[in-house]
Structure 1
Amino acid sequence: MQTQLLDAKEPESIRKAARILQNGGLVGIPTETVYGLAANALNGAAVAGIFTAKSRPMDNPLIVHISQFDQIDGLVREVPDAARKLAERFWPGPLTIILPKGNCIPDEVSAGLDTVAIRFPSHPVAQAVIDAAGVPLAAPSANLSGHPSPTTAAHVMDDMDGRIEAVLDGGPCAVGVESTVVTLAAEPPRLLRPGGVTLEQLREVLGDVEMDQAVLNPLPEGQQAASPGMKYKHYSPKANVVILDGSLEHYIDYVNTHAKPGVAALCYNGENDALSVPAICYGGERDCGEQARELFDALRELDDVLHAETVYARCPEPKGVGLAVYNRLIRAAGFEVISLG
C-alpha cells in the first residue's frame, strides 16, 4: 500500500480523505492534541483495521470524534447534565467524555465495554474531515502502538507509511499530548487520563472528581482499561527512559556521574549546558504547556538524532497540565523513577 501525503489546506484533500473513510479506509488526521488514525466509527471492520495498522491490542478502547455536539445523540444511551456542562465549557477542545454507549457503537470501538469515549476536537481540519465523511470517526493516536505519539504529519509517515491510505498534513499540533479523559459512568466522575483540560478545571465544573490510581501507577494485573493510555507501556522511544526525581543540582550530578557512551538526557531549556552527555530539551521548567507540546517530539529525537540507549529524564511537576506530562513520561519510562533525595 502506498500512503498518500495530502495537504490539508487543499479542499480536494479533505474530500479525498473523506472518500477513503467512507470506503472503510484509514487516514491520519491532525487534531489539536496529537495526530489521530481515523476510521468510520460505525464500521467495525474499518475500526479493526486501526488495530492492525498500529499493532494495537484489541482490548484497548478507542475515542469517537464528532464535529457537532448533537452528533452525540445515539452514540450514547443518554446525555446527562454533567456531560452538557462539560461540553459547554470545554468543547470543542481536548476533553474526552466516557458515557454508556448506544447500540450503534461496534465492540471494536469500545473493546467490548458497555461505555464509549466521545470527543469534539477543535482542530478545523479534523472537523472538516468529519463533516465531509458524514460519520463519526474512531481515532487513536496515529503511531505504532507503544511509540511516542505523533504531533506532526512527518511523525505519522514515519510510523504509518505503507500501512494506511493517506495522511492529512495540517501542521504541528497545538496541545501536544492526548486529550483529557473523564468518565461519567462512575460516581463520582473519575479522571482516567490527564491532558490539556486539567483536573482542577474539571472540578470547577463538576465539583467532586476523583483521579484514578492508574493515572500515576500501573493498571492492576487483570483489570481492563476503561480508557486509552491506561494499560500498556506507551509513548516510549527505543531508548530506556529513567526519570530522575530531585533538584536540578542533584539531577546534573547524577547524570554526569553516570555519563558514558549511549547515555543521553531529557531536560528543561538551558540545563543541557551543564551536562556532560548529549541532551534534548523539552520546554521550560515552569512552562508545562510548552513541555506538553515538546515532549513527544523530544522522545522521538532521542532515537532519531541521538540514537540513545539510556535516557535520564527530568521529572515534571504533576500539577495542572504538568500532570499530563508526568503521566506520559512515567509510561514512557515503564514507571522507572529514581528519587534523588
Structure 2
Amino acid sequence: MLMTKIYQPDEVDQAAQELRLGELIAFPTETVYGLGADATNEQAVKRVYLAKGRPSDNPLIVTISSVAMAEQYIAEIPSAARKLMAKFWPGSLTMVFKIKPGSLSKTVTGGLKTAAFRMPQEPTTLRLIEAAGVPLVGPSANTSGKPSPTTAQHVFNDLEGRIAGIVDDGPTKVGVESTILDMSVPVPTILRPGAVTVEEIEAVLGMEVVADRHHVGQKEVPKAPGMKYKHYAPAGQVVIVAPDQWEAALKWAQAKAEKVGVMVDQSLLDQQTIPANVEVFDYGSGITNATHKLFAGLRYFDGQAKKVNWILVAGYPEEGLGAAYMNRLRKSAGNVFFSDLED
C-alpha cells in the first residue's frame, strides 16, 4: 500500500518528480481536484483507471500548461477555437480536437481519434505541469461514480494508499467540472455544461452552438468524461426538489423513521417547520453558491456517522450556470425528482 503524501504549493517540484517516475499525483484546479499522471506514459495512465475504478472506454482530459504544449498533439486548431482559447484559457473550458495520428495512446483517448484538452486557471497546477515537462491526464480525483472532490481531504478520503500524493492548495472555487466543448465537429457542441456557459461561448464565437448532447448510448464510446455512466452519487438516494415542493417534501421526510438530509438555501425554509429527523446543509443563496457547494454537501452526508438514505436537494432553472448544476444533480439523483415519489 502506498503512503499518500500531502504536498504544499511550494513543493510542486517534488510532486513533478513523482509524475516523471510514473506515479499518480492529485492536483487542484479552480473547478475540482484532478488525478494526474503523465499523459505520455501509457502504464501510468492505466493506473489512473485502476485507482479510480473507472471504465476504460471513458476518455481522459489532457491537462496542459500552454497552447504550445497542446499543439504538439492537436492535428489542427480552428480559428474559432483560437478565439475561445484567448478568452477562456487558462480557465474552466475543455475543448475536444482531432489529434495527430499516434500522438496519444488509446488509453488516453478511449480509442477515439479525438482528445479533450484543458488549461486550468490554478497557478499551482500550471507550475506542476511545467515542472513535469509533460501534459497530465486529469480526471476528477475521486472513486469513479462518487461526488467529485473539492478539497484535498476529499481526495485523501477516496484515494489514500492508491496514489503517491496530493498537492493541497485549499478548496476549489467553482465546485463543478469544466465545460466540455467539441470542436472536432462542424458545429461546436457542448458535451458537458460547466462554469463557462453556452451564452458566453456563443458571444465569443458570434454563432449558436449545440447545447443538448450530454448523454451517449450504452454501446457508444463517449467523447468526453461524464456522458455515459452514473456520476456524482453519494451512498444515499438524492432527490431533486422544486422550489414550490419544500412544504410537501419536509412532511414526507418527517414521516420517515430515519434521518433525512436536506441541501438547500436555508432562507427557502424560513417559513417551514424543520422536522427533528432532518439535517440541513445550507449552501447559501443563489446558483453560484449552490454550484460551489454541491459536491461538498453530498460528501457531507456521506460522512455522517448515522446513515442517511435520502438527500433532498434543491433544483434550479436549467439556464446559465444552472445548466451545469442541474446536469450534475440529475446524474447524482439518477433523475429522481420529488414529484416521482409523490405519484
Instruction: Work out whether the TM-score is over 0.5.
Output: yes
Q: Superposed, which structure 2 residues align to 1:188-227 within 5 Å?
A: 188-206=187-205, 207-214=207-214, 218-227=215-224
CA distance in 2, matches of 1:89, 1:209: 17
Q: Which runs of 5+ in 1 are unaligned?
A: none
Task: Tell me, yes or no, if structure 1 residue 234 matches structure 2 residue 245.
Answer: no
Amino acid aligned to 2:208: D
Pick from 45, 48, 59: which aligns with 1:47? 45
CA distance in 2, matches of 1:307, 1:53: 26
Q: Deviation of residue 221 (structure 1)?
A: 3.4
Question: Residue 213 of structure 1: SS of its match in structure 2?
Answer: coil
Q: For residues 286-335 of structure 1, what are the alpha-carbon distances to aligned partners after superposition, in whole Å with 9 as ceiling and x for unaligned?
A: x2221121111000011113631011221122111111111000000011
Other-structure match for 1:326: 326
Q: Deviation of residue 245 (structure 1)?
A: 2.7
Q: For residues 140-192 of structure 1, what are the alpha-carbon distances to aligned partners after superposition, in whole Å with 9 as ceiling and x for unaligned?
A: 00000001000100000000100000111111111111000000112211001
Question: Could you state the TM-score of these two structures normalised by the residue count of structure 2?
Answer: 0.93
CA contact (8 A) 1:97 1:181 kept: yes
Question: Residue 155 of structure 1: SS of its match in structure 2?
Answer: helix
Q: Superposed, which structure 2 residues align to 1:281-296 within 5 Å?
A: 281-284=282-285, 287-296=286-295
CA contact (8 A) 1:41 1:137 kept: yes
CA contact (8 A) 2:259 2:279 kept: no
Question: Could you state the TM-score of these two structures normalised by the residue count of structure 1?
Answer: 0.93
Q: Superposed, which structure 2 residues align to 1:1-341 within 5 Å?
A: 1-10=1-10, 13-102=11-100, 103-206=102-205, 207-214=207-214, 218-247=215-244, 250-259=245-254, 260=256, 261-272=258-269, 274=272, 275-276=274-275, 277-284=278-285, 287-305=286-304, 307-339=307-339
Q: Deviation of residue 337 (structure 1)?
A: 2.1
Q: For residues 38-63 of structure 1, what are the alpha-carbon distances to aligned partners after superposition, in whole Å with 9 as ceiling and x for unaligned?
A: 00011111111100000000011110
CA distance in 1, matches of 2:293, 2:198: 21
Amino acid aligned to 2:252: T
Amino acid aligned to 1:209: V
Q: Deviation of residue 272 (structure 1)?
A: 4.9
Amino acid aligned to 1:244: V
CA distance in 1, matches of 2:253, 2:38: 49
Q: Which runs of 5+ in 2 are unaligned?
A: none
Q: For residues 1-21 of structure 1, what are the alpha-carbon distances to aligned partners after superposition, in whole Å with 9 as ceiling and x for unaligned?
A: 3333334232xx211111111
- Per mean C-alpha deviation after superposition, the further-off stretch among 267-276 and 181-190 is 267-276
CA contact (8 A) 2:92 2:194 kept: yes
Question: Residue 280 of structure 1: SS of its match in structure 2?
Answer: strand
Question: Residue 266 of structure 2: SS of its match in structure 1?
Answer: coil
CA contact (8 A) 1:3 1:165 kept: yes
Pair 142,75 (structure 1): closer, same or farther in 2 beyond 3 Å? same
Q: Deviation of residue 212 (structure 1)?
A: 3.0
CA contact (8 A) 1:3 1:167 kept: no
CA contact (8 A) 2:7 2:165 kept: no
Amino acid aligned to 2:309: E
Amino acid aligned to 2:265: Y
Amino acid aligned to 2:280: A
CA contact (8 A) 1:198 1:320 kept: yes
- Output the aligned Cα RMSD: 1.6
Pair 9,72 (structure 1): closer, same or farther in 2 beyond 3 Å? closer
CA contact (8 A) 1:63 1:118 kept: yes
CA contact (8 A) 2:93 2:196 kept: yes
For these two proteins, the number of residue pairs brought into alignment is: 332
Question: Residue 278 of structure 1: SS of its match in structure 2?
Answer: strand
CA distance in 2, matches of 1:252, 1:62: 42
CA distance in 2, matches of 1:326, 1:302: 19
CA distance in 1, matches of 2:211, 2:76: 24
CA distance in 2, matches of 1:299, 1:98: 29
Q: For residues 176-225 of structure 1, what are the alpha-carbon distances to aligned partners after superposition, in whole Å with 9 as ceiling and x for unaligned?
A: 110000001122110010111001111112212011332xxx53332221
Name the % identity: 39
Q: For residues 7-37 of structure 1, what are the alpha-carbon distances to aligned partners after superposition, in whole Å with 9 as ceiling and x for unaligned?
A: 4232xx2111111110111001011110000
